[in-house]
């Protein structure tokens, strides 16, 4: 399989890792000592060279990068360390290969995820925040648009929270089969449709729109996110830094902020008309 290797300055390690997470990687390994003052970040965005290249063009910074062919078994060692993530007292996300990793207790729901080459194990703060914010705005029978569905985790959660129909889209082709598989795994496939349809071509309106994507993408998509929202709908955004998000809100004006929560330096914001 193809590893993606970014070479960044020591001072850029954190911001580069953050940007990689929001692009959809599931693990990042730091390797120092390659060249003075720089660090290599080894990760993977799948084996489709053109889609990885276009994802990298969306990064907020220009770092040098290359592909390396690696042994799949080595690149999969993160799986041995994956654990359950609790979202609330009654909801947790479980790596699909960890059977029985959390107690089977009445009233507790589990979302089981096999991420493949997509983002969305449920352990990243932006996903945790998005899941909580999504739950807060859901009402039974709501329709939902999940923009940047990755593993499908938010679309699946929306079904557990009562959605009758969820449309899930992502620019990454890998997200489509992964979301389909995860929807089946969680018994909600009849309520989810998934595609790589660009948001600009989605012409329905939804009670809830959720988008856990990098700030530059949210800004690019701002008009279409607003257009896809029904008149009384809620927009949940994440993938943005708690310290720096006003430029995203400016792009989404006149939508107004109705709720916000932060976790580990990230923020999720709920907006409405």
Ligand X SMILES: C[S@@+](CC[C@H](N)C(=O)[O-])C[C@H]1O[C@@H](n2cnc3c(N)ncnc32)[C@H](O)[C@@H]1O
Judged by CB under 6 A, does residue 171 bind ligand X?
Answer: yes
What's the residue count for the chain?
273
Q: Which residue has the tokens 């489509």?
A: 176
The tokens describing 158, both together, are 């929306």
Applying CB under 6 A, does 148 fall inside the site for ligand X? yes
Residue 64: other Cβ atoms inside 10 A: 9
In the complex, minimum distance from the CB of residue 143 to ligand X, in angstroms, rounded to a whole number: 17
- Quick one: 142 or 266, whose CB is closer to ligand X? 266
CB nearer ligand X, residue 38 or residue 56: 56
Closest CB to ligand X among residues 38, 220: 220
Backbone angles phi, psi at 172, to 5 degrees: -85, 120
Number of residues that bind ligand X (CB under 6 A): 25
Going by the DSSP 8-state scheme, the letter that residue 207 receives in this structure is: E
Which class for 218: exposed (0-12), middle (13-18), buried (19 or more C-beta within 10 A)?
Answer: buried
Nearest alpha carbon to residue 211 among 118, 113, 144:
144
Per CB under 6 A, which of residues 72..131 are in contact with ligand X?
Answer: 118-120, 126-127, 130
Burial 203-215 (b: 16+ CB within 10 A, else e): eeebbbbbbbbbb
Tell the smallest beta-carbon distance from residue 66 to ligand X (Å).
21
CA 60/CA 79 separation, integer angstroms: 29
90 phi and psi, to 5 degrees?
-120, 20
Among 111, 150, 178, 209, binds ligand X (CB under 6 A): 150
* Residue among 17, 212, 226, 267 that touches ligand X (CB under 6 A): 212
Minimal CB distance to ligand X: which residue?
A: 148
| Burial classification of residue 246, based on how many CB atoms lie within 10 Å of its CB (0-12 exposed, 13-18 middle, 19 or more buried) | exposed
Cβ 23 to ligand X, closest distance in Å? 6
> Which residues, listed in sequence order, are joined to residue 68 by a DSSP beta bridge?
3
- For residue 94, what are the CA distances in angstroms to 107, 115, 186? 16, 11, 11
Q: Tell the smallest beta-carbon distance from residue 33 to ligand X (Å).
A: 30
147 lies in the site for ligand X, by CB under 6 A: yes
Q: In the set 4, 169, 188, 225, which binds ligand X (CB under 6 A)?
A: 169
A 10 A CB-CB count for 219 gives: 15
Distance, CA of 237 to CA of 222 (rounded, Å): 10
By beta-carbon proximity to ligand X, the closer residue of 199 and 269 is 199
Q: How far is the CB of 136 from ligand X (least distance, A)?
A: 15
Query: Among 137, 154, 158, 236, which residue interacts with ligand X (rule: CB under 6 A)?
Result: 154
Q: Does 267 bind ligand X (CB under 6 A)?
A: no
**Residue 25 is a binding residue for ligand X (CB under 6 A):** no
Chosen residue from 46, 95, 125, 239 binding ligand X by CB under 6 A? 239
Query: Which residue in the set 221, 249, 252, 271 belongs to the binding site for ligand X (CB under 6 A)?
Result: 221
Which residues are at the interface with ligand X (CB under 6 A)? 22, 24, 118-120, 126-127, 130, 147-150, 153-154, 169-172, 175, 199, 212-213, 217, 221, 239
């Amino acid at each position: 399989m193809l590893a993606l290797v970014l070479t960044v300055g020591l001072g850029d390690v954190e911001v580069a890792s953050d940007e990689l997470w929001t692009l959809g990687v599931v693990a990042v390994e730091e390797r120092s000592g390659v060249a003075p003052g720089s660090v290599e970040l080894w990760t993977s965005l799948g084996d489709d060279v053109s889609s990885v290249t276009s994802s990298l063009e969306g990064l907020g910074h220009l770092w040098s990068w290359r592909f390396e062919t690696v042994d799949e078994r080595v690149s999969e060692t993160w799986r041995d360390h994956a654990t359950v993530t609790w979202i609330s007292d009654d909801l947790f996300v479980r790596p699909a290969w960890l059977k029985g990793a959390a107690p089977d207790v009445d009233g507790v729901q589990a979302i089981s995820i096999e991420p493949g080459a997509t983002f969305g194990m449920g352990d990243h703060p932006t996903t945790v925040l998005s899941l909580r914010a999504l739950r807060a705005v859901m009402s039974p029978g709501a329709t939902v648009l999940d923009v940047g569905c990755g593993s499908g985790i938010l679309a699946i959660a929306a079904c557990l929270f009562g959605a009758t129909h969820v449309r899930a889209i992502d620019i990454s082709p890998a997200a489509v089969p992964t979301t389909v598989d995860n929807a089946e795994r969680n018994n909600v496939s009849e309520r989810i449709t998934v595609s790589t349809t660009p948001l600009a071509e989605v012409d329905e309106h939804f009670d809830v729109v959720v988008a856990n994507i990098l700030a530059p993408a949210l800004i690019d998509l701002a008009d279409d996110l607003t257009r896809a929202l029904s008149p009384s709908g809620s927009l949940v955004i994440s993938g943005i830094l708690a310290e720096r998000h006003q430029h995203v809100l400016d792009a989404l004006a006149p939508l107004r902020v109705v709720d916000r929560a932060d976790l580990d330096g990230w923020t999720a914001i709920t907006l409405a008309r």
